[in-house]
Each structure stands twice: as structure tokens, then as C-alpha cells.
Amino acid sequence: MIDVATLSLLISTTLILAVYTILYRENPAFRVGEHLMVGATVGNAIVLAVFQIRDLAWRKLQIGLTKGDLSGIGYIIPMILGVLLYFQFSSKYRYMARVSIALLLAVGISLSIRGLIFVNVIGQIRGALAPLTTIQNIAYLIGVVCALLYFVYERRASKLAGPLPKIGRYVIMLTMGAYFANTIMGRLSIVIGTLTSVFVAPALYLIPIAFLIVAADALIRRKSAKA
């Protein structure tokens, strides 16, 4: 008798291998895996969202109404604002959604603006002006100045800057390279994580089966192409 943990491991491994068959070619097994993943993710998100509304707003509103507590009744406001967002789908009443969007934007900007200026402007300038005692600090300052000069499009200023904007371009290219290399490293880590969960018995035995199915399909296709 297979226990639940083994069954879930076998199902997840089958789906992982089905999705990886895209590396061979587009096929129904890949599409089944893809659709199941999208469906499960959306289903999970919807259920969690409904629970969130229930726990964070609906229950508090219910308690507020039964006890006559204004702080609880106040939860009706965010709930109405949330419903208003759905008017985005109606061309006639779209303007009503703007109330919620405007509020979301206003709260978001007002919350983040102070911190953003302190962290991304003042903090970064302070960091760039660190004592030039190490090669790292010198390289950091040169990199910041040159990269900023690259975005100065005024002709006279560009002439005055000489080769610095060009150095800035190389600094930006190096940064992009670091981003790209990190992205590849990240994707590899995901594959490693997936393989780690697959290389466990009995899931491990599904790998040669998958390879055999792919090889058989390749042979059949080759024969039919020749015929």
C-alpha cells in the first residue's frame, strides 16, 4: 500500500518530468503539466485570498456589528474599496475604480517616499563618498560618477567629461553582465532544487522511464519521417 507522502512524491516527480519534456519538443505531457501547474497556483491563490478577506475583514466586521464596535464596523470601508476595483471591467462605471486606485497610489507613495529618499538617495550618496582608503571604495566612486555621466546628454557637458561617459558605459555593461550571470546561477539553483527532490527513491526510477519514452518517441518519429 502506497502512503500519501510516496504518492505525492510520485505525482510531483511525474509532473516535473512531464514539464521537462519541453526540452525535447512540444508535447501533450508538457501541456498537461503546464496547465495543472497554472490551475493549481491560481486555485491556491484564490483560496488564500478568500481566507484573507474572511480573517482580516469579514470576521472583524461581523464582530463589530454584533458588539456595536466602530473599529470593527470600519472594515466595511476597505471592503467597499476592494469591490470598487472590479468596476475596472465595466466601460460605463470604470470611473468608480479610480477612487480605489487613487487611494492605493496615494498610500503607497506617501509610505515609501521618505524611506526611498533616505535609502536610495542620501544613503547611496553617503556610500559613494566613503573614505577613499581601499581600491573597492575608489572603484565604487569612479563607477558611480562615470555611470551617471553616461546619462548626461548635454553636448558641452559630455565634451568636458572626456572619456568618462564611455567608462560609464563599460561599468553599466559589467553590471548587466553580473545580472545575467546571477540570473543563470539562479535558474541553475532552481534545477538543482528540483533534481534534489526527484533523486529520492522511488521517484528516482521514473527518470529512466521518462528517458525511454522520449527515446522511443524520437525513434518512431524518425522512422515515420523516413517512410
Partner 1 sequence: MSLREVLNRNYKQVIYIALFLSLAIPLISPIGLPVPVQKTTLGVYNKIESLKSGDVAVIGSNIGAAIYAEVYPQYIAVLEHLLRKPGVKIVLVGHGIEAPIWAERALNELNAPNRKTYGVDFVHLGYIAGEEAAIAGLCRDIHALLKVDHGGRPLSDLPMMNNIRNAKDFTIVIDFTASADSQYWLNQAYASYGTAIGFGLTAIKVPDAYAYYMAGQIFGIIESLSGAAQYENLIHKPGMAVTGMDAQSLAHLLYIALILLGNIFIVTQRRVK
**Contact footprint for partner 1 (CB under 8 A):** 23-24, 44-45, 48-49, 52, 56, 107-108, 111-112, 114-116, 118-119, 123-124, 126-128, 130, 136, 140, 175, 178-179, 182-186, 188-196, 199
User: Whole-number minimum distance, CB 72 to partner 1, in Å?
Assistant: 11
Nearer to partner 1, 126 or 159 (CB): 126
Nearer to partner 1, 93 or 179 (CB): 179
Residues 6+ apart with CB under 8 A from 129: 141
Nearer to partner 1, 44 or 90 (CB): 44
User: Whole-number minimum distance, CB 166 to partner 1, in Å?
Assistant: 22
Nearer to partner 1, 4 or 185 (CB): 185
User: Whole-number minimum distance, CB 216 to partner 1, in Å?
Assistant: 15
Task: Assign 164 to helix, strand or coil.
Answer: helix
Nearer to partner 1, 26 or 154 (CB): 26
Burial class for 116, CB neighbours closer than 10 Å (0-12, 13-18, 19+) = exposed
User: Whole-number minimum distance, CB 1 to partner 1, in Å?
Assistant: 25
H helix intervals, the chain: 4-20, 28-53, 59-67, 70-73, 76-84, 94-116, 123-128, 135-150, 155-161, 164-198, 206-226
Nearer to partner 1, 47 or 65 (CB): 47
Burial class for 126, CB neighbours closer than 10 Å (0-12, 13-18, 19+) = exposed
User: Whole-number minimum distance, CB 31 to partner 1, in Å?
Assistant: 19
226 C-beta neighbours (distance < 10 Å), count: 6
| DSSP per-residue string spanning 22-35 | GGT---HHHHHHHH
User: Whole-number minimum distance, CB 186 to partner 1, in Å?
Assistant: 3
Contact assessment for residue 141 and residue 132, using Cβ atoms and an 8 Å cutoff = yes
Contact assessment for residue 198 and residue 13, using Cβ atoms and an 8 Å cutoff = yes
